[in-house]
Amino acid sequence: MTNLEKKHSIIIAGGGSTYTAGIVMMLLENQERFPLRALKLYDNDGERQAIIGKAIAIELQEKAPEIKFEYTTDPVEAFTDVDFCFAHIRSGGYEMREQDEKIPLAHHVVGQETCGPGGIAYGMRSIGDIIELIDFMEKYSPNCWMLNYSNPASIVAEACRRLRPNSKILNICDMPVGTQRRMSQIIGLDPKDLEVRYFGMNHFGWWTSVKDKAGHEYLPEIRDYVAKNGYLTQVEVDTQHMDASWQATHKKAQDLLAVDPNYLPNTYLKYYLYPDYVVEHSDPNYTRANEVEDGREKRVFAAARKIIEAGTSKVGEFPIDSHASFIVDLACAIAYNTHERMLLIVENNGAIANIDDDIMVEVPCIVGNDGPEPITQGKIPLFQRGMILEQAMVEKLVVSAWIDHDYQQLWQALTLSKTLPSAQVAKEVLDDLIEANKEYWPELKQSPLHVN
Ligand code: NAD
Ligand code: G6P
Ligand code: MN
C-alpha cells in the first residue's frame, strides 16, 4: 500500500464542541485527499458529547458507513489506535468563559476569551487539561500527532514547550486563515493563491507581505483598503466570524493599521492597542460568551437534536465548516509530506532574529512529515519588538505560576499585561479570578513577603 492509500484514524478531543459537527462535515468533504478509516469523539462531559455524537452517527451511517465511528469518555478507548488527535477543548466551558469576560469588565478592564486577564485565567485552566490529553495520546498511540487549536493557544504552546518539549503537538489558529480569506476577497484572488510573510505570537501579529504565487506584492493595495474599511468586505466570505461583534472587530483593524501603516495587523491587537475603547464598547452584563450561548451553541445543538429525533440527517444537515479545511491541510502535510506553507505557533529559535529564541512565535512554516520548519522573518522594528517581548514575558510568567503554584508570578503577569493599568487593579482582578477558578487552578502559594 502506498502512503497515499493509507486511511487515517482520528480522534476529536472536545467531541461536544460547537465546532465538532462542522469539522466532521468538512472531513467528509475531504475524503478524497484525506481518507478516514475511523473517527472517534472524546469529551469529559458525556451528556454534552452524546448529543453531537448521536447526530454524527446518523450522518455517517447515511453518508459514509465505511468509517468506523464511536464517541466515548474513556481515554483508553479514545486514544488507542489513532493517527491524529484534533484537539479543541474548552476547559471550564462557557460558564467559565463568561467569568473570564465579566470579572475583568467589572474592574473596567478588557474581558476577553484569550487576551488580557480573561485569557490568563483560561490559560491557567487549560494547561493541565492539554498536558493530560498529550499524555493519553503518547501512552495509547505513541506515533499520533496532536493538531491543537484549544485556547488560549499562545499560553498552551508555551506550556507545551516547557512541560512536553518533545511531544508531537502542533498549535494552530484560524484567525490568520480567516483574515487572509478577507484579504483575498479584497484583491480578487483565491485564498490558496496567497503567500504571506507574518511575524508575532498567537493573536498578536502582523503581516509584512501578501504576494500571489507569481511574486506580485499586494500589501499596499490591501493597506489602502483596510485604512478605509478595516477587513470588512463587500460580499461576505467567511462562515465563522460573522456576528455583529465580529464585524466591529474587522472594522477596527483600520485603527490598528494607523499605529503602524507598514504592516497589516491581526484583529486581536485591538485588545492591546485600544483597551479603553474595548471596555467602553463592552456590555459587562452580556458578553461574547452569552452571544455564543444564544447563537452558535443553540444552533448547533438544536440541529443535532432535530437529526436525532427524526433519525435521519435529511431534516437539516450540519453546515460544512469549509473554512476549517486548513486543519486537513495540516494533517495532509504531515501524513503525505506535502511541504505546505502554513502559519504555526513554534519556538522562535531565530525565526524572528531580534527576539529571544525561547519565545513561542507565530510564523510561516514549511510542514512535512517531521513537523514544521519555520521560515525566517528577519529583524522586526522597535514597536513590535517591544510589544512582543512584553506579551511573551506575560505568558511565560503565567506558565511559571502554573508550574510553581506561585501567586507572585501570576500577579506580575497581570501587572505586566498591556491590558491592565496598575499593579493594584491587577491584584484586584486576580483575587476575583482566583475565587472564581477554585475548582480549576492549582492552589497558589502566597509569597512570604506578599503585601496586602
Ligand atoms: P465548547 O465548550 O462548545 O466545546 C469544548 C468541549 O470540550 C466541550 O464539549 C467540553 O465538555 C470539552 N472539554 C472541556 N474540557 C475537556 C477535557 N479536559 N477533556 C476533554 N474534553 C473537554 O467550546 P467551543 O466554542 O466549541 O470551542 C472549543 C475550543 O476551540 C476552545 O478552546 C476555543 O477557544 C477553541 N477555538 C480555537 C480556535 C483557534 O483559532 N485556535 C478557533 C475556534 C475555537
Ligand atoms: C477566532 C480565534 C479563536 C477564537 C474564536 C472565538 O476564530 O482565532 O482562537 O476561539 O475566534 O470565536 P467566538 O465566536 O467563540 O467568539
Ligand atoms: Mn485563534
Q: What was the pLDDT predicted at 242?
A: 87
- State if residue 294 touches ligand 1 by the CB under 6 angstroms criterion: no
Give the position, in ligand 1's atom list, of the atom nearest the Cα of 296. Answer: 25
Ligand 1 centre to CA of 19 (Å) is: 8
What are the strands of the beta sheet with 264-265, ordered from one edge?
195-201, 204-211, 264-265
Residue among 89, 81, 86, 72 nearest 38 (CA) = 81
d(CA 29, CA 33): 9
Q: What was the pLDDT predicted at 320?
A: 87
Contact between 362 and 198 (Cβ < 8 Å): yes
Best mutation site among 174, 239, 282, 300 for ligand 2 pocket (most ligand atoms within 8 Å of CB): 174
Nearest ligand, CA 44: 1
**Pick the catalytic residue: 268, 271, 272, 407?**
268
- List of the chain residues with pLDDT < 70: 1-4, 238-239, 448-452
- State if residue 292 touches ligand 2 by the CB under 6 angstroms criterion: yes
Residue among 136, 152, 160, 157 nearest 80 (CA) = 136
Number of Cβ within 10 Å of residue 293's Cβ equals 15
* Interface predicted TM-score (ipTM) over 0.90: yes
Q: What was the pLDDT predicted at 1?
A: 45
Q: What was the pLDDT predicted at 234?
A: 82
**Pick the catalytic residue: 100, 174, 238, 432?**
174
329-354 burial code (b ≥16 CB/10 A, e <16): bbbbbbbbebebbbbbbbbbeebbee
Q: Where are the alpha helices (DSSP H) in 114-218?
A: 116-140, 153-163, 175-187
Ligand 3 centre to CA of 181 (Å) is: 15
d(CA 269, CA 249): 10
Question: Could you confirm whether 174 is annotated as catalytic?
Answer: yes
Helix (H) or strand (E) holding 397: helix 382-404
Q: What was the pLDDT predicted at 447?
A: 73
- State if residue 13 touches ligand 1 by the CB under 6 angstroms criterion: yes
The three cell numbers locating residue 36: 478516514
CA 324 to each of CA 43, 177, 181: distance values in angstroms, whole numbers, following the listed order:
20, 9, 12
Number of Cβ within 10 Å of residue 278's Cβ equals 22
Ligand 2 centre to CA of 239 (Å) is: 12
Q: What was the pLDDT predicted at 185?
A: 95
Coarse DSSP helix, strand, coil percentages of the chain, rounded to the nearest 5 percent: 50, 15, 35
CA 17 to each of CA 21, 204, 388: distance values in angstroms, whole numbers, following the listed order:
8, 25, 31
Q: What was the pLDDT predicted at 240?
A: 80
Phi/psi region, residue 88 (left: phi>0; alpha: psi -120 to 50; beta: rest), is beta
85-108 burial code (b ≥16 CB/10 A, e <16): bbbbbbbbeeebbbbbbbbbbebb
Residue nearest to atom 15 of ligand 1 (CA): 91
Ligand 2 centre to CA of 238 (Å) is: 13
Q: What was the pLDDT predicted at 322?
A: 83
Q: Rounded to the nearest 5°, which phi and psi values hold at 106?
A: -65, -20
The three cell numbers locating residue 53: 455524537
